[in-house]
Amino acid sequence: MTIAILFITLFACMFMGMPIAIALGLSSITTILMFSNDSLASIALKLFEATSEHYTLLAIPFFILSSSFLSTGGVARRLINFAVDTVGHIRGGLAMASVMACMLFAAVSGSSPATVAAIGTIVIAGMVRSGYPKAFAAGVIANAGTLGILIPPSIVMLVYAAATEVSASRMFMAGFIPGIMMGLILMIAIYIVARIKGLPSQPFPGFGKLLRSGLVALGGLMLIIIVLGSIYGGIASPTEAAAVAAVYGFLIAVIGYRDIGPLKNSPWIKADEGVSAAVVRNSWQIALAFPRSIFDKEVRKVVLDASKVSMMLLFIIANAMLFAHVLTTERIPHNIAEAIIEWGLPAWGFLIVVNILLLIAGNFMEPSAILLIMAPILFPIAMKLGIDPIHLGIIMVVNMEIGMLTPPVGLNLFVTAGITGENMLWVIKACLPWLGLLLGFLMLITYVPEISLFLPEYIDKLKGY
């Protein structure tokens, strides 16, 4: 009866169009008040504890702020230029460069819709001007943008780590090789299609220009080294690395590239001044930039937008964790786990069920909410069947990637529709051919756990664990 009331209330609220966070909270509170001795005060305490007790969740606002500064600060444009100079001379190279740019931006943003918005706004129009079909360009970017939640650092991985209490660092390590592999699969598919359709290529710019564009893009690329290097090297936790990323994102956008803030469009060296004069001029400009940036309209807007996204996501997480608390209190995951063990369902069969459930849920719910609801249910079963929790996490993240591309709630579809100006049906048709690659990749990740576990296990050996 308790389970029925909980899930009937949840789905009834969702079908009425209620926001997922409110639906989760209302169904949980209704169930607690009807079947539990807990008071309203204890419910408020649980909502507070949902976010305050999970230190890992503190990294989410920092990564969102870092991504906001880098998205606004022109890092995406510089990464695209570097990617085009690197692979643009190959047939279909502009589309391959777009995938490469998505991979690079994913490693500094941690968000799939942000990756599609930042890269797609620039490259889709560029590909169309270069002779690529518009549907081809839109489908490539929408699918490549999903790498934003697979290539670390990933906000979705942080949510899974908080829900299951596994190591966020190990989740990041486990996502690195699958993310690179998925990007390469997309690039190989693009090359094959380009050869068949005769898609154009760019002239090779020369090693000099390639080196220059690489140096220009180094400001953004250094964030990948700083964040992942400090986490994998054991220097900082994901939360500490996220805080450093937020500060670095501010510095590179306001002081380094000067695309926003009080120094906007001020060059480091003017045409008519020497190096010593440039050093003096920049010294006092930078000294004045910090206090002035607090009152700068563009900087304040970036912080405000990042705060809105953080509050929205953390509100969803708090309500989803309250929902997970009800599930755990009623021993729902344990009862399901015991039932599946009694049925004799093997690990491979269980993983098929997991993928089907997650693919269905991805059509209707936001990835963080799915993970916070499903992970407490699936985690105990996976442990009893001998499935590594890190491997399960990567499987769930890849499913969330596919959910970004499936209607009616696929966030990447909405972003792509907004960029291209086309309707949702057109975007779905553009994405379908590439979605098959993601489904095949999901099968590969599901039944070849070594792809996900190789790097974390190898680093553990290096550390002597």
Domain boundaries, the chain: 57-301
Residue-wise pLDDT tens digits, 300-337:
888 998 898 888 888 888 887 788 777 777 777 677 76
State the average pLDDT over residues 15-20.
80
Residue-wise pLDDT tens digits, 198-213:
888 888 888 888 899 8
State the average pLDDT over residues 277-304.
82
Rounded-to-integer distance, Cα 261 and Cα 66, Å: 15
74 Ramachandran zone, left/alpha/beta (phi>0; psi -120 to 50): left
| Cα dihedral 416, 404, 62, 226 in deg (nearest 10) | -90
pLDDT value at position 52?
62
pLDDT value at position 182?
93
Check if the beta carbon of residue 134 is closer than 8 Å to that of residue 124: yes
**What rounded mean pLDDT belongs to the chain?**
84
Q: Please give the C-alpha separations between residue 295 and each of 153, 298, 300, in angstroms, as whole numbers.
A: 30, 9, 7
pLDDT value at position 79?
85
Out of 166-170, 207-211, 284-288, pick the least confident. Answer: 284-288
Rounded-to-integer distance, Cα 397 and Cα 146, Å: 10
State the average pLDDT over residues 160-176.
88
**Which candidate, 166, 168, 177, places its Cα nearest to that of 389?**
166
Does 187 have pLDDT greater than 90? yes
pLDDT value at position 73?
57
pTM for the structure as a whole: 0.84
Q: Provide the CB-side half-sphere exposure for 214 (13 A, CA).
A: 10
Q: How confident is the model at residue 118 (pLDDT cuts 50, 70, 90)?
A: confident
